Amino acid sequence: MTLAEATAPACTICRSGLYADEFGRYACRPCERRIDRDLLAIAGPGGLYARAGLRITPGSGGNGPAVSMTRTPGTPANLDVLSYISNGGLVSELESWVEDWSTYGLARPCQGGRLQHRVDWAVGTLRLNLTRAVERHPAIDDFAVELAKIRRRCEGIISQERPPRRFGVLCQCEAEISITLNTPNARCPGCSAEYGHTELMDLPLAEGRIAA
């Protein structure tokens, strides 16, 4: 790597070098489009949030109401799913970013309403101001990571798959970083060193810290 390559502006999300017409941005255009796709996938009556809500009852497929001729008690709600799609879960995660962006003049908080409306509002205002946020918000990389987690969590709920097993690896500073085999990149909570996927896989395991 040349000195010029080492000092050239890079995307804070994927670490790729920025093109000349992207200088002054915190993220490259492909990463901006990926954020926009993740936001768009969440909202709306057919979006991930609405579809995840159909999985509150374990085993429900969301293809229409189940009809039973018996008088046996109904299947109990999946409390993990219910907690995630209720106030304080996914909705609050999105709204916390709306509040954060609003301090930069990049979003407008919702004035209340039903949960689906609040999700749609949050997605709408974040998408509307995304390009300016990529240029002005220094934590756009953290937003992209959290948004990708929201999308994966919703997709896992819909497909009823178990979330990927998490395990710990040790940074050079000896702090533990919690990852999965699919983690694209991560930042050390101890020294703030940043690692790509390949670098994370090369770090030593934190023995005895593998989560079920």
Q: In tens digits, what is the pLDDT along the chain, a chain of 212 residues?
A: 343 444 678 999 998 899 888 899 999 999 999 999 999 999 999 999 999 988 776 554 444 333 333 444 444 557 788 888 888 899 999 999 999 999 999 999 998 899 999 999 999 999 999 999 999 999 999 999 999 999 999 998 888 766 678 889 999 998 999 998 888 888 898 898 989 888 899 999 987 544 43
Give the other-Cβ count within 10 Å of 4's Cβ: 8
pTM greater than 0.75? no
